[in-house]
Amino acid sequence: QVQLVESGGGSVQAGGSLRLSCAVSGYTYKRYCMAWFRQAPGKERERVAIIGSDGTTSYADSVKGRFTISKDNVKDTLYLQMNSLTPEDTAMYYCAAATVFGGAWYCAGQRYNYWGQGTQVTVSS
């Protein structure tokens, strides 16, 4: 049984930082594509960042230079470091996994079939 459990969300003022974590269990996630998505009320879900099985990464233009995705293969945990947060970053954030191998460019075209329950991030101005 694959499980993804996010944590680390909360409320922060604009310009602040948060680090989201996603604990992974049930499969050797380190070999697969992993990503962070977000969805704000009334908006479509947006893919924020991807990390491939080879450690390569890619980011949405809206977060490039501010967010960093990483993974700790020993702790089986995926992270999203978010800096210089703005109110536009307010959303529910989800980690997701696609059970395929590849670099970030390949992972970008894949269907993510495992999802966490989400963690809320609220940024006030």
Query: What pLDDT, on the 0 to 100 scale, is given for residue 25?
Result: 87
| pLDDT tens readout for residues 80-93 | 999 999 999 999 99
What pLDDT is stored for residue 28 in this prediction? 64
Count of all residues that appear for the chain in the document: 125
pLDDT for the residue 77? 93
Q: Which residues of the chain have pLDDT under 70?
A: 27-30
Tokens 């924020």 belong to 48
What gap in Å lies between CA 104 and CA 77, rounded to an integer? 18
The sign of the CA dihedral 74, 75, 78, 80 is: negative
- CA atoms of 123 and 92, how far apart (whole Å): 12
pLDDT of residue 51: 96
* Residue 41, CA distances (Å) to 82, 83, 122 in order: 20, 22, 12
